[in-house]
């Protein structure tokens, strides 16, 4: 069965292509290479012995999207990762985010309405919850006004999908990720941030390699046990496996509603300092860091209630924080060796 993975050469996309191919799906990876590299195809091949079909398409070009789907009427599912995802950048350049994260979504959905069968998995984020009142966060926690254009595009994306579901045959599952980290155990694929990493773990592993002088910890005066923010760090392979399970749920028509929503996390919160100490343990080296001012827009804590995904999808994250960090560290060491 033919599945399209948009953003298929990206961090989560490439790991999902691997898991789809491991399950025997025929995959078309669409990517405009704006935040990924073509070498990822080799990494996928080295892991699975197969390369997905690759289409270098910018989904902001409506005609290109239409031409692609016209040529591929036998697609049974789309997993949509393609989007810009840097919170800070979205504040500086909101129109880039609304164009890339909303227009592209609309063009893909328009084409899905023309297919005989359409199953759609949407890459959403725990960002939609903002600072949730209650931990761990359940799927029915209220959606807070977005604090960044990036977060707003995820909220708007979910609303678009719900509206479209009411008047089309498209079945969708919204997957709200917490904090994806780590890399495939083979170190053939992993996270490839361009420039200075915005996210904690790639900054830590680059600091561990001496590429960065020290980590800046954005505030230790939060109302948490050690004063630093708490997040739910989930291994990217666990996340990828959840996408395949969600897609199979739709293909088997097991979904109970036309739009279902699941939180994807480990269910455990870890503070920034706990991540640092876990990294020092797995790397066997001290991590230089300094405490600096809080980062605008950070929530104090966010970790998932995973009961719904566990019970309904039959999925549970397997990797511990240390295992995830060890895989990120192995990947960082490998890419810096070459």
- 268 touches ligand WQD (CB under 6 A): no
Q: Does residue 80 belong to the site contacting ligand WQD (CB under 6 A)?
A: no
107 is catalytic: no
- Residue 149 CA: distances (Å) to CA of 89, 108, 128: 9, 21, 11
Q: Which two tokens stand for residue 186?
A: 């083979």
CA-based radius of gyration for the chain:
19
Closer to ligand WQD at the Cβ: 45 or 218? 218
Using an 8 Å Cβ cutoff, are 90 and 150 in contact?
Answer: yes
For the window 181-210, what string marks contact with ligand WQD as x by the rule CB under 6 A?
-----------------xxx--x-------
Print burial letters for 93-119: b (CB count within 10 Å at least 16), e (below 16): eeeebbebbbebbebbbebbeebebbb
Region of 25-33, 49-57, 105-113, 213-221 interacting with ligand WQD (CB under 6 A): 213-221
The 8-47 site mask, x for binding ligand WQD (CB under 6 A), equals ----------------------------------------
Min CB(262)–ligand WQD separation in Å = 15
The CA distance from 1 to 4, in Å, is 10
232 or 260, CB closer to ligand WQD?
A: 232
Q: Is 229 in the site for ligand WQD (CB under 6 A)?
A: yes
Task: Provide the CB-side half-sphere exposure for 333 (13 A, CA).
Answer: 11
Among left, alpha and beta (phi > 0; psi -120 to 50; other), residue 238 is: alpha
Nearer to ligand WQD, 127 or 171 (CB): 127
State which residue, 17 or 264, has the beta carbon closest to ligand WQD: 264
Check 97, 107, 129, 150 and give the catalytic one.
150
Q: In the range 288-317, which residues lie near ligand WQD by CB under 6 A?
A: 295, 298
**DSSP label of 302:** -
Alpha helices in 9-98 (DSSP H): 11-22, 40-48, 62-71, 87-92, 94-98
Q: Which positions lie near ligand WQD, rule CB under 6 A?
A: 85, 87, 125, 127, 177, 179, 198-200, 203, 215-218, 229, 231, 272, 295, 298
């Amino acid at each position: 069965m033919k599945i399209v993975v948009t953003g298929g050469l990206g961090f989560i996309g490439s790991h999902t292509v691997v898991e789809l191919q491991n399950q025997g799906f025929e995959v078309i990876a669409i990517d405009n290479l704006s935040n990924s590299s073509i070498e990822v195809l080799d990494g996928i091949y080295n892991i699975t012995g197969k390369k997905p079909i690759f289409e270098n398409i910018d989904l902001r070009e409506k005609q290109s999207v239409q031409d692609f789907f016209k040529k591929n009427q036998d697609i049974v599912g789309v997993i949509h990762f393609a989007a810009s995802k840097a919170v800070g950048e979205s504040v500086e350049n909101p129109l880039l985010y609304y164009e890339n994260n909303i227009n592209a979504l609309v063009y893909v959905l328009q084409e899905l309405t023309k297919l005989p069968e359409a199953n759609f998995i949407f890459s959403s984020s725990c960002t939609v919850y903002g600072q949730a009142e209650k931990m761990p966060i359940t799927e029915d926690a209220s959606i807070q006004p977005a604090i960044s254009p990036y977060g707003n595009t995820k909220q708007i994306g979910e609303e678009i999908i719900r509206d479209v579901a009411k008047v089309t045959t498209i079945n969708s599952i919204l997957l709200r990720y917490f904090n994806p980290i780590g890399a495939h155990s083979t170190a053939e694929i992993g996270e490839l941030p361009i420039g200075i990493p915005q996210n904690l773990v790639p900054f830590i592993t680059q600091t561990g390699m001496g590429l960065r002088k020290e980590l800046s910890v954005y505030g230790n005066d939060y109302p948490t046990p050690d004063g630093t923010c708490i997040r739910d760090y989930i291994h990217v392979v666990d996340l990828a496996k959840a996408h395949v399970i969600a897609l199979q749920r739709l293909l088997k028509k097991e979904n109970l509603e036309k739009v279902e929503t699941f939180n994807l996390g480990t269910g455990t919160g870890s503070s920034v300092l706990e991540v640092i100490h876990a990294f020092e343990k797995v790397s066997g080296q001290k991590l230089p860091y300094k405490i600096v001012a809080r980062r605008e827009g950070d929530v104090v804590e966010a970790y998932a209630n995973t009961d719904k995904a566990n019970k309904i999808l039959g999925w549970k994250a397997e990797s511990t924080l240390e295992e995830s960090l060890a895989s990120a560290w192995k990947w960082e060491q490998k890419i810096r060796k070459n």
